[in-house]
Amino acid sequence: MLLPLTAVLLVAVPVFLQAPLVRQAPHAAALFTLPLVAAAVLLERHGRGSWQQLGPLLVGFSGSWLAGCLFWGWFREHPLLHLPIEAFALPLALAGLGGRWRLAGAFYLASLLGTAATDTAIALTGLMPLWPQVLSAPLSEAPLVLRQAGETVLEPANIALVTAMAALLIGVCTQLWKRGGSARVSAATLAATLAVDGLFLAAALLAPLSSGLI
């Protein structure tokens, strides 16, 4: 249970912190990837037991972290670039599934799937045009635009769509969990992404300034 729980923490802890951090110091945030990878490799080579397994998991997290830094630091007002940037390490993640870095691939691919599902929901509910508006609006106006986006999600057709997609992802998580091993890391990562999306929606409606986007 330790690795799935760690995967959940790696999804949940940075999500509301990375975007504002990267906006303030994008280069420093991106360069933080280097000590992350160094620590991960050291753990994988010299760690014992769960500590050794934590190394590959951190490698997967490092890929997601760097992709997030690149997008939120330099391309945040271009939502169509979000998924392609997040997928920059896709070939490496797929290759890693067959060897010693399978936990890295499991985390990264599940995180990417969660991102793809989120971006698809944003596009299908008509929120994509509001994305750059939220990020470019003055601080006095941005919370209103973000709350408007949250209210749009609650419209009957949109909430039905989001609920159906969430149910599908929960089904995927359940099947992955049953497979055991690294698949449980994927299940935990995907479930955490889904939970964070729910928290983000709540923040957009109730406390937009705490969402991390503005």
Indicate whether 8 pLDDT > 90: yes
How many whole angstroms separate alpha carbon 190 and alpha carbon 115? 9
- Phi and psi of 11, rounded to 5°? -80, -45
Residues 54-63: pLDDT tens digits? Answer: 999 999 999 9
**What's the token pair of residue 132?**
């750059």
pTM score over 0.85: yes
Maximum average pLDDT range among 18-32, 40-54, 62-76: 62-76
- Phi and psi of 47, rounded to 5°? -75, 170
Predicted confidence at residue 83, as pLDDT, reads: 97
User: Average pLDDT of the chain?
Assistant: 92
Indicate whether 106 pLDDT > 90: yes
Indicate whether 28 pLDDT > 80: yes
Indicate whether 142 pLDDT > 90: no
Indicate whether 15 pLDDT > 80: no
Indicate whether 214 pLDDT > 70: no
Residues 156-188: pLDDT tens digits? Answer: 999 999 999 999 999 999 999 999 999 999 999
Burial class (CB in 10 A: 0-12, 13-18, 19+), 213: buried
pLDDT band at 212 (very low <50, low <70, confident <90, very high): low
Handedness of CA 113, 148, 128, 132 (dihedral sign): negative
Residues 72-100: pLDDT tens digits? Answer: 999 999 999 999 999 999 999 999 998 88
Would you list the DSSP string of 127-167? -TTHHHHHHHS-TTTHHHHHHHHHHHHTSHHHHHHHHHHHH
Do 153 and 162 meet the contact criterion of CB atoms below 8 Å apart?
Answer: yes
Predicted confidence at residue 1, as pLDDT, reads: 77
How many whole angstroms separate alpha carbon 205 and alpha carbon 126? 17
**What's the token pair of residue 167?**
């149910």
